[in-house]
Amino acid sequence: MKDVGMKPETLRSATATASFYAPAHCLQRIAERDTEKGDPQASARIAGILAAKRTDELLPLCHPLPIHAAEVHFNIEAERVVIEAEVHTIGPTGVEMEALTAASMAALTLYDMLKPYAEPEELAIGETRLLDKTGGKSHFKRHLKRPLSACVLMVSDPVADGHKPDTAGRQVADGLAGAGFEPLDYQILPDDETRVGDALDTAIANGTQLIITVGGTGIGPKDRVVETVTPRLTTAMPGLMEAARAFGQRRTPYAVLSRGVSGFAQQSLVLTFPGSRAGAEETLAALLPSIVHVLEIHQRFAGHAG
């Protein structure tokens, strides 16, 4: 199975359709809800909903998901019944397969209930396809429409002294490059408030659109990045780091130890990531869609102001 553990949970939905073809007298029975096995529409609806809830048991590589809503609708036409299945969840991956499975199972149920009234060649299932999906990467973008500048400041004495490789800051920089940020400045700094403050002031004065510090957000005596960044923020955006901590908390109880802050310093969005590789990776995974969205909105406002 594909690992979706680093994907943020979002509200997701999908709608799929399938067609059940039958002769006119069979379609009439479906419309009148009359077969020897009972109401075909009611049975097919329940079968479709149950199938959506158990898709992960039927498809071996499909992730189990909490199904928050599922519904199946029927539209009876001249030669067929058009089935539409809609499924909703809040999860790290989409519900396309749940919707497709629901539509398919509803069609199979109609086939089973109408087969006593028709020859085998008169019944058919076809045109099963996805109609719509929302809530995933196609809805919450993780890549910029056009390049924006960024700066990553890795703050750590051991890294600056060459005693430890930088895996956290480098990973953040690579992730931003993959999201379309360029030019991208990357610096390694010691745990020195003056040095960090100077680097921040330079990046802000240069109009760098995104500045991310990595490290210095914990409770150690040298963890002073938060104290360095906070006075420079002109518009605080606490929700960003709150979301990152909530995302991390579901993966490790130590995520609450990060004191990270976030907001705009003049025209620069500034975020303070934790210094561990896992913490930095989780924070970027949690925030990248929001970072892209916030910066693109900010650029539109800046364009109108200009």
Which residue carries 């002109």 as its tokens?
234
Residue from 56, 112, 157, 174 carrying the catalytic annotation: 112
Task: Report the DSSP beta bridge partners of residue 18.
Answer: 83
Q: 173: number of CA atoms within 13 Å, CB side? A: 17
177 HSE (CA, 13 A, CB side): 11
Tokens 């909105």 -> residue: 297
Is residue 185 annotated as a catalytic residue, yes or no? no
Distance from C-alpha of 306 to C-alpha of 304, rounded to nearest angstrom = 5
DSSP 249-301: HTT-GGGGG----EEEETTEEEEEE-SSHHHHHHHHHHHHHHHHHHHHHHHHH
Strand pairing class (235-236; 210-214): unpaired
Structure-token match 């929700």, residue found: 239
Q: Is the dihedral of CA 247, 248, 251, 257 positive or negative?
A: negative
DSSP string computed for 8-44: PPEEEEEEEEEEEE--HHHHHHHHHT-BTTB-HHHHH
* Element of type H or E holding 202: helix 193-205
Q: Which positions are catalytic?
A: 112
